[in-house]
Amino acid sequence: MAKDPFFSSRLLKWHKTHNNREMPWKGEKDPYKIWLSEIILQQTRVDQGLAYYNRFVKAFPTIQLLAKSSEKKVLKLWEGLGYYSRCRNLIHTAKHISKTYKGKFPDDFESVSQLKGIGPYTASAICSFAFNQPYAVLDGNVFRVISRVFGITTPIDSTAGKKFFTKLANELLSKEEPALYNQAIMDLGATICKPKQPLCEQCPFAANCEARLHDAVSFLPVKGKKLQRRKRFFNYVIAVYGNGFYVRERKEKDIWQNLHEFILMETDKPLAVTGLQKKLSAWMATSMKTSAFVIEDISPTIQQELTHQVISGKFITVRLTRELPAALGYRRISKSGLRKMAFPKFIRQHLATSGMLD
């Protein structure tokens, strides 16, 4: 069925007669807004990303305005979305387009593909939706539809799988209506051919779907790699002196780069409450050059799962009786100043639940 000339026509007929999925960027032709929506939706659910997309479009209606804005302002607007490398790439690419292309988004696949943070999927989406060029998109929804309809068991995350699915997706693509086709197959995967409890009886390919005919819907698509997550233990010391809190910007090439954090004591295992005073005193004396503090509060253990890491830890609030040495790289920030800073979700959640910024 891979060469079936009726695949695209059936899909497009379903799209024009039955597809009622609403998206604020659906039918959008501005490559800047398409790019923005695609970057936000990488690793982000539509219902979460929508509010961010609307805020970004309101704050930066053109790519030139985004390019001129400060990194701190853009990161603050991105706060809570996670995967902050996406945001840094967004800033870099906006500046590059503003400088190299005078603010006009390039309109050929090769140039779009070379922009930082843009892979084959995003380049295909921009070129097909903005310029109606014949490039098939391959997101999770598309992998799922194709693997089920054609009964493909090749792992979608393997090198061979990616090559095979890319070739097949471009064979199936409607060359006359690539933008409509791409939107249709993504919507079919999102609304009908869902990961769990798919609505097979409403699918335009129900009579021919290999997965449905062979009772293999729940097994497809196949993923070969099993993700191994690194476990890390972050214990944040919220050091208070006067009306200020000691904060620094993360500069290392690690998670949360360019975001802010309190004093970090990373340990190789969970930090037990028993003996915490002694352990913290020794660490503060060595790392922060002070033992002049008292512990005021210890939070429960909290956890955040990232793609490749699991972060667990506590927040320990201490009251300092003298200032920290300036050479340590931390700045004392007021409560109002903290509200303007971009923090990773791990910290931001504690700030919200503890009422610290109220």
DSSP run (H or E) holding 76 = helix 71-78
Least confident of 170-174, 226-230, 245-249, 264-268: 226-230
The predicted-structure confidence for 22-80, as pLDDT tens digits, reads as follows 887 788 899 999 999 999 988 788 888 899 999 999 999 999 999 999 888 999 999 88
351: nearest Cα among 260, 270, 287, 271 = 260
Q: Which of 305, 265, 268, 160 is nearest to 222 (CA)?
A: 160
249 catalytic? Reply is no
Catalytic site residue from 38, 177, 210, 261: 38
At 26 the pLDDT is 81
Q: How confident is the model at residue 5 (pLDDT cuts 50, 70, 90)?
A: low
Q: Which residues contact 275 (CB under 8 A, 6 or more apart)?
A: none
Rounded Cα–Cα distance for residues 68 and 79 (Å):
19
Last-in-domain residue among 199, 219, 239: 219
pLDDT on residue 272: 84
**Predicted pLDDT of residue 2:** 45
- One domain for residues 26 and 52: yes
Residues 283 and 183 in one domain: no
169 and 80 in a single domain? The answer is yes
Domain presence at residue 11: yes
Residues 144 and 262 in one domain: no
**Strand, coil or helix: what is 317?**
strand
Mean pLDDT, residues 263-279: 89
At residue 229, the pLDDT reads: 87
Could you give the C-alpha distances from 161 to 154, 186, 196, 222, 245, in angstroms and in order?
5, 19, 22, 10, 51
Within this chain, do residues 36 and 127 fall inside the same structural domain, yes or no? Answer: yes
**CATH number reported for the structural domain that contains residue 331 in this entry:** 3.90.79.10
- Whether 14 shows a pLDDT value over 50: the answer reads yes
Instruction: Give a yes or no: residue 108 inside a domain.
Output: yes
Token pair recorded at residue 232: 């890390």
- Is 127 in the same domain as 260? no
With respect to residue 198, please indicate whether it lies within any of the assigned structural domains. yes
Cis geometry, peptide bond prior to residue 106 (ω within 30 degrees of 0): no
**Does a structural domain hold residue 92?**
yes
Chain CA centroid to CA 100, Å: 27
pLDDT score for 4: 58
Instruction: Let me know whether 160 and 29 are in one domain.
Output: yes
- The arithmetic mean of pLDDT across residues 181-202, rounded, is 94
Alpha helices by DSSP H, 291-344: 335-339
Q: Report pLDDT for 232.
A: 95
72 in any annotated domain: yes
Say what the alpha-carbon torsion angle 328, 337, 312, 87 is, to the nearest 10 degrees: -100
Residues 159 and 238 in one domain: no
Question: Could you tell me if 197 and 108 lie in one domain?
Answer: yes
pTM for the whole thing?
0.76
Higher model confidence: residue 327 or residue 167? 167
Q: What is the CATH number of the domain that holds 132?
A: 1.10.340.30
Query: Please, what is the average pLDDT of the chain?
Result: 91
Digit-coded pLDDT (tens) for 297-354:
999 999 998 878 999 999 999 999 999 988 788 999 999 999 889 999 999 989 988 8
Average pLDDT of the segment spanning 195-214:
93
129, 237: one domain:
no
**Neighbour-count burial of 278, counting CB atoms closer than 10 A to its CB (0-12 exposed, 13-18 middle, 19+ buried):** exposed
Residue span of the structural domain in which 345 resides: 230-354
Domain annotation covers residue 286: yes
Last residue of a domain, which of 152, 186, 219? 219
- Classify the phi-psi angles of 313: left when phi > 0, otherwise alpha if psi is within -120 to 50, otherwise beta: left
Report the 10 Å Cβ neighbour count for 77: 18
Instruction: Check residue 307 and give its pLDDT.
Output: 79
**What tens digit of pLDDT does each residue of 246-255 get?**
999 998 889 9
Q: How many domains does the chain divide into?
A: 2
pLDDT digits (tens, 9 = 90+) for 84-98: 889 999 999 999 999
CB distance 310 to 231 below 8 Å: yes
Distance, C-alpha 133 to centroid of its chain = 26
111 with 258, same domain: the answer is no
Q: For strand 309-320 and strand 302-305, is the pairing parallel, antiparallel, or unpaired?
A: antiparallel
67 touches 94 (CB < 8 A):
yes
Helix axes 46-59, 71-78, angle to 10 degrees: 150
Is 26 part of any domain?
yes
The predicted pLDDT at position 13 comes to 94
Is the Cβ–Cβ distance between 154 and 161 less than 8 Å?
Answer: yes
Q: At what angle do helices 120-131 and 178-191 cross, to 10 degrees?
A: 120
Choose the final residue of a domain: 219, 239, 272: 219
pLDDT digits (tens, 9 = 90+) for 102-143: 999 999 999 999 999 999 999 999 999 999 999 999 999 999
- Domain assignment of residue 1, yes or no: no
Are residues 196 and 316 both part of a single domain?
A: no
